[in-house]
């Protein structure tokens, strides 16, 4: 991306992969907005990043709350007049079980954050991204959302029958494709990132990768040059099949 002062919003950035994405973007000299629901946790994340010399600011945003998202967009417009990078990282996992035993209320809760939250936040931020000369949208997805991989009985994570989470990430992949198509005639690039199986609070810190490793693909996609891809699904190794 061009050498101008860039502004990035990372949702769910007070911990885990989101915090590490914000840290890595900040180390590149980008102003990072720490999107979080909880003010105390968001402020603490801001303090930690500022201590590292990063230009970080907490911004309160709950992706399940339309007025909160609208307020965040208004605050960004008032202070910066634009947004260069949106990383839709906020996500949850609720009481996951195989499809035959899963409660629809849990699925609704997962979709409210993981799918509708991505749509709600992206829609609110697109006008600000259009005000940038080089807007980038990165949606945090997962190989668990790949229909191709999950159709293969030899897929190493095929036993993870988490219907709510997995199908929500498949929906995030769909949103990625459709937003990329919608914005293809603009400077905005829209891609999905698979961080891999990282040790975070989401999975009880059972993952095999670190948040630092998990953040790399998202940071790469957030800082793509003008000739970079759009409408793709990537991990550290390259393209992930839909």
Query: In the chain, how many domains are there?
Result: 1
2: in domain: no
Please answer whether residues 16 and 202 qualify as being in contact, where contact means their C-beta atoms are separated by less than 8 angstroms. Answer: yes
Find the mean pLDDT for residues 124-146: 97
59: in domain: yes
Angle of the 211-222 helix axis to the 16-27 helix axis, nearest 10: 50
Q: Is the pLDDT of residue 1 over 90?
A: no
Instruction: Kindly state the percentage of the chain with pLDDT values over 90.
Output: 83
126: in domain: yes
Buried b (16+ CB within 10 A) or exposed e, 57-85: bbbbbbbbeeebbebbbeebeeebebbbb
Q: Domain with 92 in it: what CATH number?
A: 3.40.50.720
Instruction: Please report which confidence band the pLDDT of residue 159 belongs to, taking 50, 70 and 90 as the band edges.
Output: confident
Q: Is the pLDDT of residue 183 over 70?
A: yes
1: in domain: no
Residue with the larger pLDDT of the pair 75 and 198: 75
Please answer whether residues 137 and 229 qualify as being in contact, where contact means their C-beta atoms are separated by less than 8 angstroms. Answer: no
pLDDT tens-place string over residues 19-38: 999 999 999 999 999 999 99
Q: How far apart are CA 33 and CA 93, in angstroms?
A: 24
Q: Which residues are catalytic?
A: 165, 169
Instruction: Kindly state the percentage of the chain with pLDDT values over 70.
Output: 94
Structural domain including 196 reads: 7-239
Lowest mean pLDDT among 63-72, 80-89, 157-166: 157-166
Q: Is the pLDDT of residue 184 over 90?
A: yes
Task: Identify each DSSP E strand in the chain by its residue range.
Answer: 7-10, 31-36, 56-60, 85-88, 136-140, 189-193, 233-235, 238-239
Q: How far apart are CA 122 and CA 85, in angstroms?
A: 11
pLDDT tens-place string over residues 210-237: 878 899 999 999 999 999 999 999 999 8
In three-state secondary structure terms, 229 is coil
């Amino acid at each position: 991306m061009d050498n101008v002062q860039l502004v990035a919003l990372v949702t769910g950035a007070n911990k885990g992969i989101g915090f590490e994405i914000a840290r890595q973007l900040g180390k590149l000299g980008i102003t990072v907005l720490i999107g979080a629901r909880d003010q105390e946790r968001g402020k603490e994340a801001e303090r930690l990043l500022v201590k590292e010399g990063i230009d970080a600011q907490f911004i309160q945003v709950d992706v399940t709350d339309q007025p909160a998202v609208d307020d965040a967009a208004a605050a960004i417009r008032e202070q910066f007049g634009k947004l260069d990078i949106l990383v839709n990282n906020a996500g949850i996992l609720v009481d996951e079980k195989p499809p035959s035993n899963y409660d629809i209320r849990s699925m609704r809760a997962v979709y409210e954050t993981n799918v509708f939250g991505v749509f709600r936040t992206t829609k609110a931020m697109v006008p600000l991204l259009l005000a940038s000369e080089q807007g980038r949208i990165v949606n945090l997805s997962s190989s668990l959302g790949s229909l191709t991989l999950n159709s293969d009985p030899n897929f190493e994570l095929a036993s993870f029958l988490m219907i709510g989470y997995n199908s929500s990430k498949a929906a995030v992949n769909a949103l990625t494709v459709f937003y990329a198509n919608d914005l293809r005639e603009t400077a905005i690039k829209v891609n999905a990132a698979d961080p891999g199986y990282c040790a975070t609070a989401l999975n009880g810190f059972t993952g095999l990768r670190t948040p630092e490793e998990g953040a790399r693909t998202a940071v790469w996609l957030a800082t793509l040059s003008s000739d970079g891809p759009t409408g793709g699904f990537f991990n550290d190794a390259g393209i992930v099949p839909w």
